Amino acid sequence: MNATYCSTECQRADWTSHKLDCKSLWKMREHTLEKRAGCRAAGRPQKNDKFLWSWFDACEGLSTKVKCLAWQHR
């Protein structure tokens, strides 16, 4: 849900690719949240956080950005 471009022209040129990538990552995020909600509802411990972290790892630079934001808003 976040991309930076040098100009409007570059943003427009990348829109088709960005839209597909963003949609794919959003679906993966929704699937992860549903799976975690299912674990909570079943009363199972949440030891399977590897699935959640795999989503973070799939988004290049996301974990760094989250850590930076956490530091800024501590």
Q: How confident is the model at residue 1 (pLDDT cuts 50, 70, 90)?
A: low
Please give the structure tokens belonging to residue 39. 């674990």
Quick one: CA dihedral 25, 69, 64, 53, positive or negative?
A: negative
CA 44 – CA 68 distance, rounded (Å): 32
User: Which band of pLDDT confidence, cut at 50, 70 and 90, is reported for residue 9?
Assistant: very high
Residue 2 or residue 12, greater confidence: 12
**AA letter at 33:** L
Annotate 4-26 with DSSP letters as a single string.
--SSHHHHHHHHHHHHHHHHHHH
What's the pLDDT tens digit per position in 22-64?
888 888 888 888 877 766 555 554 555 666 667 777 777 777 7
39 or 16, greater pLDDT: 16
51: nearest Cα among 21, 23, 20, 29 = 29
